Structure 1
Amino acid sequence: MSIHECLAEKFEAHRNHLQAVAYRMLGSVSEAEDAVQESWLRLSRSDTSVVENLGGWLTTVVSRVCLDMLRSRKSRREESIETHLPEAFVSHEDRSDPEQEALLADSVGLALLVVLGNLNPAERITFVLHDIFAMPFTEIAPIVGKSETAARQLASRARRRVQGAGTASKADLARQRELVEAFLTAAHAGDFDMLVAALDPDVVVRDDRQTGALRVTRGAKALAKQISGRAQAAQSALVNGSVGVIVAPRGRLLYVIEFTMRHGKITEIDLISAPSRIRQLDLAVLGD
């Protein structure tokens, strides 16, 4: 076996781990594959004779590649913020298998992917490496170009954003979640009566997905007719500190649903898809 073949074999042993790291950092299977391929190219051009921990070396390399990709993504977004959706919401050319990516997004958690997309590049890299893959801050700090103390602060700030702050009490959240989950279950199953039961008779729905004017629907029965049999790719999340919903097929955020609830009924629903409005929302993962 040649040296190149031996190196390729060692790399393949780490590919799944590198793919998992890159996917959580980038939120796209195709981009994660690009990052992993770039890490192979860098490995093949490097002298690794003194590398004692190849897995750690490769994780560092793929993390730096992902950080560069995230920073480039952020720069492109800032240059054309009025004409392009954020990369966290849509992908570029999608070369991946839709079914494969849907399964992967579900396994990671749609809400987590969406919330990670709201972090800045350094926060996202630090959170993924430390909180998900348990890498020590001594190894993370050089990757993000920060001191160990600053890396800890990045992770702490990211953790607060992922978990949410200033939320309602656990009891309130439990009641909200029960109502929202009942609403989603009924919508998905097409259970008209169950949908109506979750809604206030005079519920108001505001939907910004139509170009131009805000679309407003009033009344439980009118809404139930519209959404019965839908709610695929919908998942509960914290929206501005209360239980809401994100709709993100294959991890690509399409819109956020914010609820107003009173006396055990949903009284107002806001469907928010405009990127400028979504960026103003405080989105967080809803814990178990």
Structure 2
Amino acid sequence: MTTALADEFETHRPRLFGLAYRMLGSAHEAEDTVQDAYLRFSGADRGAIEHPAAWLAKVVTNLCLTRLTSARARREEYVGPWLPEPVITSDGTLGPLESAEQRDAVSLAMLVLLERLTPTERAVYVLREAFAYGHREIAEALELTEANCRQLYRRAVQRVDERRPRFESTPERREELVRSFLTAARDGDLGGLEQLLAADVVWESDGGGRVRAALRPIEGRDKVFRFLAGATRTFMAGVELTAIEINGSPALAAWAGDALMSVVVLEVRDELVGHAWAMMNPDKLDFVRRQLARA
């Protein structure tokens, strides 16, 4: 590939990464997918590519569909809950997140919901919701009829909306609650932690069999509190907690010296922690480590 074409591809790379990440929920697989698209772009007949942005989006979308199909079998064998890979978003990696809608599109909660869709439903939903593609453009990218795409989109919206939390919190309240959680955890204030938990709170830990983690979601304030109390006594010695922005939301990072041990994202419902996702699998923390190293 000539330098000019390579430079042209680089102008599309951030958008392609954002598309692939939303499709796959995996930063390292998104990087691999974009690199595969680069190789295809370099080997393609440039004269046959009238609109590079649309051509590349189609290539990345279809590469993601192939990956999602094979990923389903791997995730069924995954040890414990499978959670998306976290991404620091304060550096613009997933583009500007200036509105609630933009932040929601890359949130951990949304990526978890997208896992419930079929690969094709997910592609239609992401292209429509996150990238504002028209149904005709989506049909061309997926080589489906426009009517089929509309049907898939309606089905995807219904499946996502029926599982979305009904009560939203303001960004300020989320930041305040995360700060309170951080302070209580640092101080070993178990009573303070308990007061921040909703009655129906759920805590999910993704260790992937690599590190010790709960193999099933922990549900209910009492059970989550007992889990946190045990974790505080057992693991908090020598661990430092810091605030970090993950997938458009305030979150916690747990450090043992210079080693990143976990990233925890808190979902706020009715002014309390309604759901917590703790990413502990070292492989899934690698992208965040690299982001921090570049900062």
TM-score by length of 2: 0.59
Contact 2:197 2:221 in 1 (8 A): no
Amino acid corresponding to residue 246 of structure 1 in structure 2: A
Deviation at 1:220, TM superposition (A): 11
Give the gaps of 5 or more residues in structure 1.
Answer: 92-97, 255-288
Q: 1:72 to 1:9 in 2, by over 3 A?
A: same
Aligned: 1:249 with 2:279: yes
Residue of structure 2 aligned with 1:187, choices 176, 181, 185: 181
Question: Partners in 2 of 1:84 and 1:153 — Cα distance?
Answer: 31
Question: Partners in 2 of 1:136 and 1:33 — Cα distance?
Answer: 26
Name the SS for the 1:49 alignment partner.
Answer: helix
2:18 matched residue in structure 1: 20
Contact 2:177 2:196 in 1 (8 A): yes
Moved beyond 4 Å, runs of 4+: 85-88, 98-107, 165-168, 179-186, 196-200, 203-212, 214-231
Residue of structure 1 aligned with 2:29, choices 28, 31, 50: 31
RMSD (CA atoms): 4.7
Q: 1:66 to 1:186 in 2, by over 3 A?
A: same
Contact 1:26 1:66 in 2 (8 A): yes
1:147 matched residue in structure 2: 145
Larger Rg: 1
Amino acid corresponding to residue 108 of structure 2 in structure 1: L
Question: Partners in 2 of 1:120 and 1:157 — Cα distance?
Answer: 10
Deviation at 1:152, TM superposition (A): 1.4
Amino acid corresponding to residue 109 of structure 1 in structure 2: S
Higher relative contact order (CA closer than 8 Å, sequence separation 6+): 2
Amino acid corresponding to residue 53 of structure 1 in structure 2: H
1:111 matched residue in structure 2: 109
Question: Partners in 1 of 2:268 and 2:195 — Cα distance?
Answer: 22
Amino acid corresponding to residue 183 of structure 2 in structure 1: A
1:84 matched residue in structure 2: 78
TM-score by length of 1: 0.60
Aligned length: 230
Contact 2:203 2:224 in 1 (8 A): no
2:131 matched residue in structure 1: 133
Question: Partners in 1 of 2:194 and 2:132 — Cα distance?
Answer: 45
Percent sequence identity over aligned pairs: 31
Give the gaps of 5 or more residues in structure 2.
Answer: 98-102, 205-212, 242-250, 253-263, 285-295
Amino acid corresponding to residue 245 of structure 1 in structure 2: H
